[in-house]
Amino acid sequence: MVLNIVTPNKKLLVDKEVCEVVVPAHRGELTVLDGHSPLITTLDIGVLKYKETESSDYQNFAISWGYCEINANKIEVLAEKAESSAEIDKARSEKALKDSEDKLDNFKDLGAEDLAKYMNKMKRAITRLSITK
């Protein structure tokens, strides 16, 4: 099956031949193998990984919101942001994590909107850090 990943800024993967894809779907991780039934799901902040062949290692991408359409052995992923482990700025993610944690320490002062904003920020930072060495 083939995998496409598209973001507003570029086409990340075009018709990449893969054997297994794990996406951070709406209700938790979703593993897609050959012959999956047609499905549309939104993607949450999380890690998307794929394997080219049975024996190869997982390739990781940090994803913030997106959706995924599976149809006839073709997986279309549209993500707002998708970064490979090599692209991630570790220092920046660490700083973002610390910032959001500091803000969330005083969560009582935050409005609902800000709370969601910093929760998401923290989630993104954790995701990014989880796939960097």
Partner 1 sequence: MASLKDIKLRINSVKNTQQITKAMKMVSAAKLNRAQDNITNLRPYAKGLLGVIADVAATKRVQHPLLSQHPDAKNVLLVVVTSDRGLCGGFNTSINKYAETYLKENKDQFSQLDLLLIGKRSLDYFNRREVESLDSILNLAKDISYEMSSDIADKLIKYFLDGDYDEIRFIYNEFKSVLTQELTVETILPIDLDKSAFDESSEEKFSKDLIFEPEAKDIIEVLLKKHFAVQVYRILSESVAAEHAARMTAMDNATSNAKEMISSLTLTYNKLRQAAITTELTEICSGAEALKG
Residues that bind partner 1 (CB under 8 A): 6-11, 25-27, 37-42, 65, 67, 69, 71, 76, 78, 80
Q: How far is the CB of 84 from partner 1 (least distance, A)?
A: 17
Q: How far is the CB of 39 from partner 1 (least distance, A)?
A: 4
What does the alpha-carbon distance between residue 128 and residue 120 come to, in Å, rounded to a whole number? 12
Q: How far is the CB of 128 from partner 1 (least distance, A)?
A: 15
Of the two residues 30 and 110, which places its CB atom closer to partner 1 in the complex?
30
CB 20 within 8 Å of CB 14 = no
